[in-house]
Amino acid sequence: MNQTLRTRLLAAGPPLHHLAGGRIGPALPVALTAGLRLTRAERDRLVIFDPQVAPLIRPLSDAEDLAPWHVGATGRWIVAVPASRAADLPARHPHLARHLASLPMPPGHTPVQPWWALPADWERLPEAPRIIISGAVVAWDEATGLVGGAATVIAAADPYWLAVLASAVGRTLLATGVAVEDMPIPDAPGPARANLAGLALSAATLAARRDELERAVTRRLVADFGPPGVQPGPRLRRWWELSFTELRAAVNEELRNDIPERYRPTWAEIHADEQATHADASARLADLERAIDTQVAALCGVELSDL
């Protein structure tokens, strides 16, 4: 993007921080997130030993799971002990305290308080819905847990902001290094603003449903044909891109098994149906994105071809 166009886009509206006030901030640090996050199985084991620790283990929206428009539903959790409760944790919850003591301290931590204690500014969770941005990836998040990783969080977010930030204009500016708080939000008449907000929410919902379809079919393949404990590889995780012959080969390669002959007609039909559903969702999402991109570009006084 040339400097003239960049300057023009930045002048298209007030910067986000003028509209969002103090509701923009960083996610939990990467090292803290990596050290404290849990799988669902790990979370369940800690709660089985001591059910009273359940409020200290929160759902996690991880920057690693961001995708365009939504946060992937990976079932991640994170230990979230407020700094104000760190001192008496060993007495109240010895099993959780032993778990935390067994974890390596992240490099560079200054031991003013236990490294695993939640920073004071995160004891009050960012109000949902949130927009989470990492690089040029913009996601809508309606969860009420913690947000971690290399990301910026906008609390109590307006879906109109989502439309602007996730549009081609927004992604282009983010990719050039414009800070989230400095992103321009063009003024729009009420009907145009409402229309863009609705389109953005529809895109977020559709992207999340498509993501769940992708995960559901992968889980079923593993459940039907994988030995206990096996994890799907990259080809099965993108099953919708494979022909049925290629799917069988991927099951052989990644699950070390085959689809039994008597199940092949059924699975060929399942695969074709789910591929069609995925293709339809992708086409509808592309239509929504084109509408958003075109409308936001017009509000900014540019053509998409200018970007």
Contact 201, 63 (CB under 8 A): no
pLDDT (average), residues 84-104:
92
Cα three-residue angle 19-286-164, rounded to 5 degrees? 10
> Which amino acid is present at 146?
L
- 129 preceded by a cis bond (ω within 30 of 0): yes
Cα angle value 203/207/208 (rounded, 5°): 120
Task: Report the C-alpha gap between 244 and 69 in whole angstroms.
Answer: 29
Which amino acid would we find at residue 220? R
Domain map of the chain by residue range? 1-23+158-307, 25-156
Asked, as a colleague might, if the bond just before 111 is cis with ω within 30 of 0, I would say no
Average pLDDT over residues 175-195: 96
CA gap 159, 95 in Å, rounded = 42
- What is the spatial distance between Cα 272 and Cα 269, in angstroms, rounded to a whole number? 5
Mean pLDDT, residues 218-240: 95
Sole residue written with tokens 């991927």: 250
Question: 70 forms bridges with which residues in the sheet?
Answer: 67, 140
Q: What is the mean pLDDT of residues 275-303?
A: 97
Across 226-236, average pLDDT: 93
Phi-psi region of 125 (alpha: psi -120 to 50; beta: other; left: phi over 0): beta
Residue 111 pLDDT greater than 70, yes or no: no
Judge if pTM exceeds 0.75.
yes
Q: Over 90: is that where the pLDDT of 249 sits?
A: yes
CA angle, residues 282, 164, 74, in degrees to nearest 5: 50
